[in-house]
Amino acid sequence: MNSGIRFDGVTVAYDGQVVLDSLDLTVAPGEVMALLGPSGSGKTTALRAVAGFVRPTAGRVLLGDRDVTGLPPHRRGIGMVVQQYALFPHLRVEENVAFGLKARRVPRAELRERVAEALEMTGMAAYTRRHPRELSGGQQQRVAIARALAVRPSVLLLDEPLSALDARLRSGMLAELARLHRELPDVSFLYVTHDQVEALTLADRIAVMDSARLQSCGTPRELYRAPADEFTASFVGNANLLPVKVTSGGASFAGTGIDVDTARIAPGAAATLCVRPHLVGLGEGPNRLRGTLAELQWRGPTHRLHVDVDGHRVMADLRELRDPPALGDPVTVHFAPEDAVLLPAGVSGDDG
Ligand code: ADP
């Protein structure tokens, strides 16, 4: 099995400017790993280092147990799909898909078989004779995926593959990619995106990047339920991040005692309470906070209340709110102790 990816202290710098800082990350064989982070955080650079288009200034890239750091891209056994499809406009669909196979001098009969198989897998078998300009954006991206799969890669690299598609197509293609991975369970996917929904939906694990560094890594559920730091909490899902004081007696926010697990925080340390807006309820309950309604947004399935509690905004997403309070009304909200986590305050740049 040669399909896993390992970044071993991979650093990339341009003109002395470090854009990827000593990345250590392992993608297991057959795993879907999302690289999630804001624009400019180094995601594409990391992916291009695996592809061989970027040469690390330090560190190694391994595919399976092979050190490929010095290998040219075409000898790495990878397939790559980018945002802009990058199809050859003058070539028909089947020729586009065959391109990488021709370059690898795959015999003619096998080439035809592999092209047919890849187009079948991506639902494009009926379009073999068309040119890219005769296809929709979604269809072009399917051809680009077919081209990447035709080389039977052990690793599939996807760089914002859905960004150029409209929202409806995007959700369909997301389901398609999940199905493709089920059909190719041994192929590792490395999926670059700035879209948390794509990462949460598709990935087995998510690596969160910020400012050239790996911020945290875990399953979608781990990062969502128990993020390790403020950056991850706010980038993966919405979060209330509230300053709390921790003493040997427990935690408090805005002068009110909070029932929450304080085991991770040393007494006396400043900490941040993270609770998801949809886990904040209206009315009396455990961890009750009293404030006034500062803003009310109707979002279709939910109302979002912004409650001012002692100068801090607490967001609550509520379903079926028949009688919403008016702006300025006194409002009480609450959350269950098990729905909140404490994070060390203000260490979002530290991945130690
Ligand atoms: P992301 O994919 O997270 O948006 P990138 O990896 O594309 O981020 O870029 C990270 C940083 O590296 C950015 O500041 C970008 O401007 C810089 N960068 C990327 N490629 C080059 C290059 N070829 N030359 C100089 N700087 C680059």
Which protein residue has the closest C-alpha to ligand 1 atom 7?
44
Is pLDDT of 57 > 50?
Answer: yes
Q: Using CB atoms within 10 A of its CB, is residue 133 exposed (0-12), middle (13-18) or buried (19+)?
A: exposed
- 10 CB less than 6 Å from ligand 1? no
Quick one: pLDDT at residue 349? 39
Q: Rounded to whole angstroms, what are the CA distances from 102 to 106, 121, 147, 187?
A: 6, 20, 11, 22
Please tell me the distance between residue 280's alpha carbon and the centre of ligand 1 in angstroms. 38
Arithmetic mean of pLDDT, 201-216: 97
- 114 CB less than 6 Å from ligand 1? no
User: Which of 9-13, 62-66, 160-164, 166-170 comes out lowest in average pLDDT?
Assistant: 166-170
Arithmetic mean of pLDDT, 121-144: 94
Quick one: pLDDT at residue 348? 42
Pinpoint the residues of the chain covered by CATH 2.40.50.140. 238-344
- 14 CB less than 6 Å from ligand 1? yes
Q: Using CB atoms within 10 A of its CB, is residue 300 exposed (0-12), middle (13-18) or buried (19+)?
A: exposed
Kindly report, residue by residue over 256-289, the tens digit of the pLDDT: 999 999 988 888 888 999 999 999 999 999 999 9
Amino acid at 282: L
Please tell me the distance between residue 14's alpha carbon and the centre of ligand 1 in angstroms. 9
Which protein residue has the closest C-alpha to ligand 1 atom 14?
40
Q: 238-344: what CATH class?
A: mainly beta
Residue 53: its H or E element: none
- 39 CB less than 6 Å from ligand 1? yes
- 83 CB less than 6 Å from ligand 1? no
- 139 CB less than 6 Å from ligand 1? no
Which one of 3.40.190.10, 1.10.287.950, 3.40.50.300, 3.40.50.970 gives the CATH number of domain 5-225?
3.40.50.300
Which protein residue has the closest C-alpha to ligand 1 atom 21?
14
Q: pTM for the complete prediction?
A: 0.90
Quick one: pLDDT at residue 27? 98
Pinpoint the residues of the chain covered by CATH 3.40.50.300. 5-225
Arithmetic mean of pLDDT, 68-76: 93
Q: Are strands 240-247 and 250-253 parallel, antiparallel or unpaired?
A: antiparallel
Arithmetic mean of pLDDT, 45-67: 96
Give the atom of ligand 1 at the shortest distance from the alpha carbon of 35: 3
| Residues forming beta bridges with residue 342, ordered by sequence position | 273
- 52 CB less than 6 Å from ligand 1? no
Quick one: pLDDT at residue 351? 38
Which protein residue has the closest C-alpha to ligand 1 atom 6?
42
Q: Which of 12, 45, 54 to mutate to test the pocket of ligand 1 (most atoms within 8 A of CB)?
A: 45
3-class SS at 62? strand
- 193 CB less than 6 Å from ligand 1? no
Please tell me the distance between residue 19's alpha carbon and the centre of ligand 1 in angstroms. 6
- 248 CB less than 6 Å from ligand 1? no
Q: Are 79 and 151 in contact (CB under 8 A)?
A: yes
pLDDT band at 347 (very low <50, low <70, confident <90, very high): low
Arithmetic mean of pLDDT, 87-99: 95
